[in-house]
A and B are shown apart, each in its own frame.
Chain A
Amino acid sequence: MRTIIFRTIAPFLTALMVLFSVFVLLRGHNEPGGGFIGGLIAASALAIFGIACGVASVRRAIYFHPMSVSAFGLFLGALAGVLSFFKGQAFMTSQWLIFDFFGVEIALSTPMVFDIGVYLVVVGAIGSIALALEEREID
């Protein structure tokens, strides 16, 4: 698949898809989207980049090993539930921080942190499967 057109387009496409995955992740609380689907989009972005430019360059680009990304996601997801401990509420009770940022209402919350955790778990897990499969094909 190393045609010149694909290799030229793939980095832009990957960047666009990763950006879109973050958008899907953030809108997920009230509208269709969320960590899981966002993670899938990001993982397919990595897969496309891998097909076009080789797995080694993907691994260089994401710097961390996909399994570590996944583990960090799990860690983050578990920690997101702990915050309610300090307010005397049950595990995973959602906490909100809503403030005004130059006239725009910003809502930060523990469900969002949890969702980012899910996103990272999915990117890491699916990404590491995809990269392993692509590597096998090239060898």
Chain B
Amino acid sequence: MAGSSVSVDLTQAMATAPVAAGDWLVVAPALITMLGGSLCLMLRKNTDLQPKVGIGFLGLLVLANLALLIRVLDHGVITMVMGSWLPPFGIAFTVDTLGAMLSLIGSVVAFCAGVFGAATIDSTGRRYGFYPFLLLLMTGVCGAFLTGDIFNLYVWFEVLLISSYGLLVLGNDRIQLDGAVKYGVLNLVGTNLFLIGTGMLYGIFGTLNMADLAQKVAALEDPASGTLATVAALYFLAFAMKAAAFPVNFWLPASYHTPNVVVSAVFAGLLTKVGVYALIRVFVLILPASRGYLSDVISLVAVATLLTGAFGALAQTEIRRLLGYLVIAGIGSMLAGIAVGSTLAISGAIFYAVHSIIVMTALYMAAGVMEMMGGSYDLRKLGGLYQKSAAFAAVFLVLAFAVSGLPPFSGFWPKVMLVDAAFSDGRSWLGAAILVSGFLTTLAMGRIWIFAFWRGGPEGTPDGQTAPVTAGTALSEAQLSGSAVWLPLGILTALVIYFGLQPEWMLELSTQGASGLVEPLGYLRSVFGVQG
């Protein structure tokens, strides 16, 4: 107890220097979402107030993340130790450019989803807890991006998984439970592998702090030893499951089309990317030698993932399933960057992750709008959407170009970086796979465009003729007339266009993020400078 009379020198164990108020931004994202989530849970019955509170807190989250990113860019890597206990024993939140940037983009996407959800989630869904789950999901996502402790990373994974189960079964349909079982089982296995790997790492080094681990691994005589390679392989399998890489990708198309479309949008944007982030963090910062050891395996997995995703997308007629395969194809591109491992490749992977978060969320939202307009997610039943809204057709075209990696939109630049890095590393087949996958994606998106937008009506409508424009249901008309659908879609599309036309800012951030991982001096100094 603090009142005891024995005097102990606490400076060895505790940070005694005052913490600047600005450094509290490090924990602000997790804190805001936790407070907001519990508040929304208490307001569960008040379905009118809930969206306002939820969206308000999500907006606050965006602001906090923006301030955090600005502070990281000004001051370098920031560390805050929980309860003032110093690392390696205390748990540290260490925020570098990579974490702050992904956290910001993630919160922008969540904000957009919160607004979109105000239109598409009915009062039953709100009472079942859409907003609390969304906010607590963001607690997990932001926590995972910002933490500097690998066990803590595991805990944030659990937080986001539990919230995602809740979102997945919102509404209790039979098909949702089916999807949730597949999603749940595979993620449980993945999380267990993650935990086993972490246990082994702790057994070897006696520490879980990422900066401390990176130091201790680098100091080893043989940093690519068999034991560490085992740990690295476990981590790779675990995170590849989260990221839905081949051959553990089947859960994604099996579950992502079952929940409400805005939930699919958040999942497609964020969840797999957290897996990729963890891969980048572990393999580039902590276990760089093992990454080199495994790079051929990762390359093969990347190629297989790229092709599975692209071919899978071509084979689907259900738009949400098709988009699910495109998420997988995108994961393949990011894995390719990790496999190559140069600063250029890693920054390409980071840029691609940012692009993919935005564009996949926007595409799922667009799929939701297509359903509201055409009454179905099935390409065979859709048609004539161009006539209904030319502006929406333009938005869809922008997103289709972006996801295929065509200029002048956000998908183009990271693909250029990744292909360039692959070729200059002598892995021309890897670069070729990225290009082939991009080409096939263009075809898949072209199919949606031709069937849903160009064709006059549902399947069987002759060329050149248009089926009479049918009025949608009262519900979908009401949803489409409000700004809650168009505002988030507009924000995300604007970001896609902005990052395509003005890539310098994003390029600089992702290069800074990547070089901070490849040469982690700033990261280490931030964690252990606290002691000085």
A residues whose Cβ falls under 8 Å from a Cβ of B? 29-30, 65, 67-68, 70-75, 78-79, 81-82, 84-85, 88-94, 96, 98, 105, 107, 109
Residue of B nearest to A124 (CB): B41
A93 shortest CB reach to chain B, Å: 4
Is B34 touching A78 in the complex (CB atoms < 8 A)?
Answer: yes
Instruction: Kindly supply a per-residue 1/0 record for chain B positions 23-38, scoring 1 wherever the CB is within 8 Å of any chain A CB and 0 otherwise.
Output: 1101100010011011
Is B15 touching A90 in the complex (CB atoms < 8 A)?
Answer: yes
Is A91 touching B82 in the complex (CB atoms < 8 A)?
Answer: yes
User: Given that A74-B38, A78-B34, A82-B31 are known contacts, is A90 also in contact with B80, CB under 8 Å in the complex?
Assistant: yes
A-B contact count, CB below 8 Å?
Answer: 74
Which residues does chain A contribute within 8 Å of B19, judged by CB atoms? 88-90
Majority SS at the chain A contact face? mixed
A131 shortest CB reach to chain B, Å: 16
Q: Is the C-beta of B2 less than 8 angstroms from some C-beta in chain A?
A: yes
Q: Is the C-beta of B3 less than 8 angstroms from some C-beta in chain A?
A: yes
* Most-contacted residue by chain B among A29, A78, A89, A105 (CB, 10 A): A78
Sorting the interface of chain B by its residue count into under 10, 10 to 19, 20 to 34 or 35 or more gives: 20 to 34
Of B1, B18, B35, the residue contacting A30 (CB under 8 A) is B1
Cα separation A88 to B84 with both chains bound (whole Å):
11
Residue of B nearest to A95 (CB): B2
Cα separation A89 to B20 with both chains bound (whole Å):
8
Cα separation A79 to B39 with both chains bound (whole Å):
12
User: Given that A71-B38, A79-B35 are known contacts, is A92 also in contact with B18, CB under 8 Å in the complex?
Assistant: no
Residue of A nearest to B90 (CB): A90
Cα separation A65 to B132 with both chains bound (whole Å):
15
Is A96 touching B3 in the complex (CB atoms < 8 A)?
Answer: yes
Of A75, A92, A107, the residue contacting B38 (CB under 8 A) is A75
User: Given that A68-B44, A88-B19, A92-B83 are known contacts, is A78 also in contact with B31, CB under 8 Å in the complex?
Assistant: yes
Which residues does chain B contribute within 8 Å of A29, judged by CB atoms? 1
Cα separation A71 to B44 with both chains bound (whole Å):
10
Residue of A nearest to B80 (CB): A90
Residue of A nearest to B82 (CB): A92
Q: Is the C-beta of B81 less than 8 angstroms from some C-beta in chain A?
A: yes
19 A-B residue pairs with Cβ-Cβ distance under 8 Å, sorted by A, are A29-B1, A65-B44, A68-B42, A71-B39, A71-B42, A74-B37, A78-B31, A78-B34, A78-B35, A79-B35, A85-B24, A91-B24, A91-B27, A91-B31, A91-B82, A92-B82, A93-B83, A94-B83, A109-B2
Residue of A nearest to B34 (CB): A78
Cα separation A72 to B18 with both chains bound (whole Å):
30
Which residues does chain B contribute within 8 Å of A82, judged by CB atoms? 31
Cα separation A81 to B83 with both chains bound (whole Å):
8
Is B3 touching A107 in the complex (CB atoms < 8 A)?
Answer: yes
